[in-house]
Structure 1
Amino acid sequence: MNTNYKVDRAPKRSDEPVWWGLFGAGGTWFAMITPVTILVLGVLAPLGIIDAEALSYDRVVDFATSIIGALFIIGTLALPMWHAMHRVHHGMHDLKIHAGIAGKIGCYAFAGLISALAVVFILML
């Protein structure tokens, strides 16, 4: 057994848990919620399986302006973007494109911009 092992008593703090958390939330949302949304809005409604009146303009606006609807729309737009930009950031590294801190800031700033625009979009309704 190696007795020369030393424990770093003052490890450098990392911001990775924040990005991994958003990555995980976005991946979960994209895997579980997005397919159902596509099924309902992209398949069942156009085929007439869901009554067209259920998706009337007034009902959609009422949903979008409720707190649950607003959070749903923001989550649908923002969370998958955080997931995608985290993948792009780490994918660049895997492809030997070492963009450094500029690449990290660029990826996460873009995801932040999309998130902010989603909130502004909701507030404008």
Structure 2
Amino acid sequence: MNRCVQPVKELRQQQLAPKGLERSQVRKLLREIELRQDVRSIAIFSLFLYTGCRVGDLVSLELSDVMIGDRSGSVVFRYGKGNKQRSVPLPLPARRTLQAWLEIRPPAESLHVFVGE
């Protein structure tokens, strides 16, 4: 082997950021969920789509973390990545689906928004 040639380090492949759903995919997903007429599932998927929350954020979401008004709304995710609290605005479609769920949510001792069925 030639001593003048240095071994070349292999370059790491750069990881790409996760790709989000396209609008047509979002519409199709929501249409499929709405066909089931399951208000709880619609609210869950709506929060995933419009807030970008993680499963853990959604599971720990409590009633006191939700603020819904006539013209605006938000949710506070308290135990997100790195245990950092963040407030996320709710667009109108997310407010409507979440409000629909809260109106029919079964009474429970739990303060969580999404109680088990």
Q: Normalising TM by the smaller chain, what interval?
A: under 0.3
Greater relative CO, 1 or 2 (CA 8 Å, sep 6+): 1
- Give the number of the structure whose residues are more often strand, by fraction: 2
TM-score of the superposed pair, with normalisation by structure 1: 0.25
